[in-house]
Homo-oligomer: A and B are copies of this chain.
Amino acid sequence: MENPRQDTKARIVDNAVQMFSAKNYERVTMRDIAAAVGIKAASLYSHFKSKDDILTGVYELFEETAAGIRPSPAALIAMAETAPPKQAVGSAFFYFRPTDHEKMLRILNIAYMMSGSDRRSREFFQRHVFDAPRLYAGNILRKLVSLGRIEPLDIENFLVLQTYFCFGAILRSFTPGVSVREEWESGLNALLELIRSTEQEH
């Protein structure tokens, strides 16, 4: 079923992710995608019934990959109970680290750019960048506070700041010529200053 050299459908999606995130959906033509894959535009229609359908394929790829790397609720609780507090909070970001999962970030960037005119993209973006991370980080923070491992803080405000920081870093990371990695580390360090451990540092 899976002929690795031959899975044209997957290669179309991969190339579309690269190109849509680097330029923007409307400025990437079916001919562009076909050329990157090494086929003719008409052949794309053997795999996807429209350009919009390729975008659907892109979002499906994200969902599948996310399902594979998402920490389980049990793992999150374990983190909150035993890992160093700052690390526990950091773990809630999973696919946001610009160093990992670059393809995932590219897809989120595409979804943002489509948000203005495509409802599906808007909801996808909301779900993955705002709702889910806020839920994860919120659970970890509440657990850390209730365990007395960190000093109490305004969790809602923290979550907003954290979410917007991630949001900014995601979008920033695909501006041509910008390397967001050091900035990600810097910003994260500043953000985690807000988490004050009650335990002695090693």
Q: Is the CB of B186 within 8 A of A115?
A: no
* Residues in B neighbouring A112, C-beta threshold 8 A: 171
Q: Does A198 contact B (CB under 8 A)?
A: no
Q: Does A194 contact B (CB under 8 A)?
A: yes
Copies held by the complex: 2
Query: Which residue of B is nearest A175, CB measured?
Result: B115
Q: Is the CB of A117 within 8 A of B23?
A: yes
Chain B nearest CB from A178 CB (Å) reads 8
Q: Is the CB of A113 within 8 A of B187?
A: no
Bitwise interface map of A from 4 to 37 toward B, beta carbon under 8 Å scored 1, else 0: 0000000000000000011110110000000000
Q: Does A45 contact B (CB under 8 A)?
A: no
* Residues in B neighbouring A51, C-beta threshold 8 A: none
* Residues in B neighbouring A154, C-beta threshold 8 A: 189-190, 193
Residues of A within 8 Å of B, CB-based: how many? 42
Chain B nearest CB from A123 CB (Å) reads 10
Q: Does A164 contact B (CB under 8 A)?
A: yes
**In-complex Cβ contact of A116 among B23, B117, B161 (8 A):** B23
Q: Does A183 contact B (CB under 8 A)?
A: yes
* Residues in B neighbouring A194, C-beta threshold 8 A: 190, 193-194
In chain A, positions 103-121 with a C-beta closer than 8 Å to chain B are 112-113, 115-117
| Contacts A26-B27, A165-B168, A194-B194; A116 near B174 (Cβ below 8 A) | yes
Q: Is the CB of B113 within 8 A of A190?
A: no
Q: Does A72 contact B (CB under 8 A)?
A: no
Q: Does A167 contact B (CB under 8 A)?
A: yes
Q: Is the CB of B160 within 8 A of A186?
A: yes
Q: Is the CB of A157 within 8 A of B190?
A: yes
Q: Is the CB of A157 within 8 A of B186?
A: yes
